[in-house]
Chain A
Amino acid sequence: MAEVKNIFDIAGRSMAAQMVRLNTVASNLANAGVVTGDKQSAYRAMKPVFETKFADALKRTGVSTVDVADIRTVLREPERVYMPHHPEADDEGFVFRAAVDENEEMVEMLEASRQYQNNVEIVSTLRNLMMRTINMGK
């Protein structure tokens, strides 16, 4: 992995991580309510696992950013719904609905987008500061 050097690494990689989170939310929401005939093939919600990535020169700089370490499926069972007329229904007339909690996903989406915005804000603020510093003494 590339070294964490400056503010663009810190905020850029954090934004990439939040983007992964937003993508998983999008897939989860897209699959919410999808039904299948058996339990194994039913969709289960995915969540990214965030991990702090410290700079190699941590002792000197003390900066860190965040990386997605893994994407896991949530340990939640698909809901068994009685729908005897559904073409996918099993012998007993049940189908399995994707294990996605829409409310949870909406909250997750809002939080991820807010944190993405925070990072954008930081980059634009510090970029302005850098421009002013470059123009020092003029």
Chain B
Amino acid sequence: MSKIGNYLDFYSQALQIRSHRNEVLASNIANSATPHFKARDVDFNREIQRHVKEGPLQTTHNVHFPTQMSPLREKLMFRQPINPSLDGNTVEMNVEQMEFSENVMRYQTTLQFLNGRITGLMSAIRGE
């Protein structure tokens, strides 16, 4: 991977996991009235650590081809309900909304960091 790509890789990965988590939480909220639906979630810390550890394959020789691994799949887990409901649905609106707003906030933060890095690169390229 290119140097610039490497420089931005961590935040781009974090952004991808956050965006995927947003979709999963939106699915939970969409299904808040469906009987027997089980809420699911992504453990961000675990996924980002898994990415840092397992990342793309390293090349140890200059004739090796860099291997683009298929993007890591995030593992979804089921949420433990605090107050289980009679219809078997484990979506709790307060929990989901809190998780969603936290995730949105963290997404924006990651985006801000990424923007900072890009701005830094741009000023280095311009040499002003």
A residues apposed to B, CB below 8 Å = 6-7, 10-11, 13-14, 17-18, 21, 50-52, 59-66, 111-112, 115, 118-119, 122, 125-126, 129, 132-133, 136-137
Residue among A14, A17, A132 with the most chain B CB within 10 A?
A14
Does B24 contact A62, Cβ atoms closer than 8 Å? yes
The answer on a CB contact under 8 Å between A64 and B31 is yes
Known: A63-B23, A64-B30, A129-B108. 6 other contacts (CB 8 A): A7-B23, A13-B30, A52-B31, A62-B40, A63-B24, A118-B32
Residues of B within 8 A of A136 (CB): 111, 114-115, 118
Q: Quick one: CB contact mask for B91-128 with A, threshold 8 Å, 1 for yes? A: 00100010010001001100100110011001000000
A121 to chain B, nearest CB (A): 9
Residue B35 interfacial (CB < 8 Å): yes
User: What is the CA–CA distance of A66 and B36 in the complex, to the nearest angstrom?
Assistant: 12
B37 A6 Cβ-Cβ under 8 A: no
Instruction: Please list the residues of chain B having a beta carbon within 8 angstroms of any beta carbon in chain A.
Output: 15, 19-20, 22-24, 26-27, 29-37, 40, 42, 73-74, 76, 93, 97, 100, 104, 107-108, 111, 114-115, 118-119, 122
Distance in angstroms between the alpha carbons of A133 and B18 in the assembled complex: 12
CB of B35 within 8 A of CB of A50, answer yes
B100 touches A50 (CB 8 A): no
Cβ contact within 8 Å between A7 and B22: yes
Q: Which residues of B contact A125 (CB under 8 A)?
A: 100, 104
Closest residue of chain B to A6 (Cβ to Cβ) is: B23
In the complex, what residue of chain B is closest to A118 when comparing beta carbons?
A: B29
Residues of B within 8 A of A66 (CB): 30-31, 33-34
